[in-house]
Amino acid sequence: MGGMAARYGSYVTLSAEAAVSLGSMEGMFEAAPPAESARPAWSGWSLAPGYLIAAAVTVLGFSVASSLPDWKVSATMMAIILGVAVRNLLPLPATTSTGCKDIVKRVIPIAILCIGAELDLIMIAEKGLQTALLTVGCVLLAFALGYYVARWMGLNHKTSLLLGSGTAICGSSAIAATAPLIEAEDDDMLLAIGTVNLVGLLAMLALPLVAVALGLGAKTFGYWCGTSIHAVPQVMAAADSLKDLKDATGDAILVKMGRVALLAPLVFVLALGYTKRSVSPSTQRKVANIQYAKLVPWFIWAFVAVALLHTSGLLPTLQFHLIGAKETTSVDLSRVLSGAGKILLALAMAAIGLTVNLRALLSVGGRSLAAGVLSSILLAACSLLLIRLLI
């Protein structure tokens, strides 16, 4: 990490452990995989501690959330808070993070798909143009703020581009897609990942508190989370954090999925722009090999498909006639899927919390963190204003 210290001063360090801890908040990309010698075996036994502990934290989260009605905090937010507390206060098996990361990779897409069963696209379609303009406008604004604030703080061009990409789209995944195109160094990538994920974590905790203070409604709060918070799991946790605004989750995910879908166009534009500046054959080969379709995750289409089925009334109501019962039992499949999505979301948040090392958070560089915080505050303020005007 000597190159980064030389450029930004002795106050900037970011260990591999910090990058892994912070990168886990994204839920879709492992920022800095351990060396081959330290890589754990991905066997069932190595996954078991993480699965069991995450499940226990999830159950505890539901229990605590239901016993504190005055706080009006959901099990989702309680699960991630308890997960962080358990990770940093108790001795855990060394393989706990292995199972937790496996949970996040497998569960987050399924939770997103299930939550689509509660979304009414007819109501969204009424403001479809406004929603599209809001999403594109906030992505452009976030990229500009992330880049120019970072430059103003004295960070170099490549780190600033990575911060802009991660802030605008989806945290670590956007940084990982952008870094090879601009030939970013490992130091630039790790610093950007650490900053974006830490700032996203702070935004996830702060936006619900601000929403309560401002008296925001569920739709406004959902759109605000979707346009302002960086990583997909962070958006989901924040939107589902308040019991009084529980209907915000679907809108938040819809807007966030729109941002994620814009990763391919952003990478395309950056690739064109950077190849014009650089004559490096390696960069040109990387640009030529980009598969833009794969930059849009499959669960975006699955989420929209389930939402379309729900909106069109094609998700059936299942009826069961239990032995000995006089009446038929009806089960609304959309409610079952939505409820399952909330449980899976809480499990994923517990798993994410169990991978966050608070000591590692302190290793993110001062100027980079200041740039991330300032650009995120400006983005949150501007996006809320746009939501008020358009939605």
Q: Which of 104-113, 245-254, 376-385 has the highest mean pLDDT?
A: 376-385
pLDDT in tens, 253-278: 889 988 988 888 888 888 777 665 55
In angstroms, the CA 65 to CA 6 distance is 47
Contacts (Cβ under 8 Å, ≥6 apart) of 250:
115, 116, 118, 119, 222, 307
Looking at the predicted structure, is the pLDDT value of residue 383 above 80?
yes
Looking at the predicted structure, is the pLDDT value of residue 34 above 50?
no
For the whole model, what pTM was predicted?
Answer: 0.79
Say what the pLDDT of residue 4 is.
Answer: 39
Average pLDDT value for residue range 227-233: 89
Looking at the predicted structure, is the pLDDT value of residue 280 above 60?
no
Looking at the predicted structure, is the pLDDT value of residue 46 above 60?
yes
Type of residue at 355 = T
**Least confident segment among 82-96, 117-131, 158-172:** 117-131
